[in-house]
Chains A and B, each alone.
Chain A
Amino acid sequence: RKEVEQDPGPFNVPEGATVAFNCTYSNSASQSFFWYRQDCRKEPKLLMSVYSSGNEDGRFTAQLNRASQYISLLIRDSKLSDSATYLCVVNRNYGQNFVFGPGTRLSVLP
């Protein structure tokens, strides 16, 4: 089993839709959590950190459930420009430190 797992996707949604991505992690010692986005043929870029109390940044809402070892990302009012692969990232304090999930691809359709 991989340390970080995500919905395989792809998710194809119409503009304006709300879409949610799930991520689970197996290492209970994980300390920090992030969502990155990666556009086609580009490097990953930080979308948002995920805080214990949940956090929102405009149309994006991230939630963390430590008991269930589960992270989510909700995108409201999807835009064409949201089309990308969304990577769940977990930080632990040993080894490679940042562990990336395989990513979930989102296509927002006109």
Chain B
Amino acid sequence: GAGVSQSPSNKVTEKGKDVELRCDPISGHTALYWYRQRLGQGLEFLIYFQGNSAPDKSGLPSDRFSAERTGESVSTLTIQRTQQEDSAVYLCASSFGTGKGNTQYFGPGTRLTVL
């Protein structure tokens, strides 16, 4: 079956512009996660959705970052007034549930470059 997909695969933008990154999780997966990974660094948790609700937004680095999920499916991560330090790969993952025995599956990521 189809895996997690993300779009665009690459995004180059100018400092100060807004960007929207999209994630399509695996069908039927109720949980969806956003991470950021800077070059040569580990995964940085941003936000997690259970259904359309976000129980944990603790990783969002500033109020310029927001995310939503609709229809218990697609999610959009929006970064307003982008800064050069926002340059990174943004990874989305989904899982069937969140409890014991569940596994995360990742999309290929969106590589964001802020000039």
Contact = CB atoms under 8 A, between A and B. Distances in A.
A32 B98 CA distance: 10
Given A96-B56, A97-B31, A98-B33, A91 B102 contact: yes
Interface residues of B, number: 26
A87 interface: yes
A44 B106 contact: yes
Interface stretch (B40-48, B66-74, B75-83): B40-48
A101 B33 CA distance: 16
Given A96-B33, A96-B48, A100-B43, A43 B107 contact: yes
Interface in B85-115: 91, 93, 95, 98-109
Contacts of B48: 95-97
B103 to A, nearest CB: 6
Nearest to A85: B42
Nearest to A89: B104
B42 A32 contact: no
**What class of interface size applies to chain A in its complex with B?**
20 to 34
A93 interface: yes
A83 B107 CA distance: 21
B54 to A, nearest CB: 11
Given A91-B100, A93-B98, 7 more contacts: A32-B101, A32-B102, A43-B109, A44-B43, A46-B104, A91-B102, A96-B59
Interface of A: 31-32, 34, 42-46, 49, 87, 89, 91, 93, 95-103
14 contacts: A31-B99, A32-B102, A43-B106, A43-B107, A44-B91, A44-B106, A46-B103, A46-B104, A87-B42, A87-B43, A89-B104, A93-B98, A100-B42, A100-B45
